[in-house]
């Protein structure tokens, strides 16, 4: 499942994948795989992304329940 909200929030803040990956201490390739739905993140990194994007974990990662 592609995480459209991850991509949307990153682009709204005008961040590159590399910048976000560095901020939460993962590789850019890992973030890319997460955004397209090929990998998942552990809970700690989900929380870091939600805080960075100023949204809830639920809104960011469970979009099918929040549309």
Q: What is the CATH number of the domain that holds 21?
A: 1.10.260.40
Which structural domain range is residue 57 located in?
4-65
pTM, two decimals, is 0.88
C-alpha 67/C-alpha 27 separation (Å) is 29
Burial group, residue 28, by CB count within 10 angstroms (0-12, 13-18, 19+): middle
Q: What is the pLDDT of residue 63?
A: 74
Mean pLDDT per block of 10 residues along the chain (67 residues) reads: 90 97 97 94 96 95 73
């Amino acid at each position: 499942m592609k995480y459209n909200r991850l991509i949307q929030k990153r682009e709204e803040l005008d961040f590159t994948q590399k910048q976000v990956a560095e901020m939460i201490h993962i590789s850019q390739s890992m973030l890319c795989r997460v955004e397209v739905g090929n990998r998942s993140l552990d809970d700690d990194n989900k929380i870091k992304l939600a805080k960075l994007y100023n949204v809830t974990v639920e809104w960011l990662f469970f979009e099918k329940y929040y549309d």
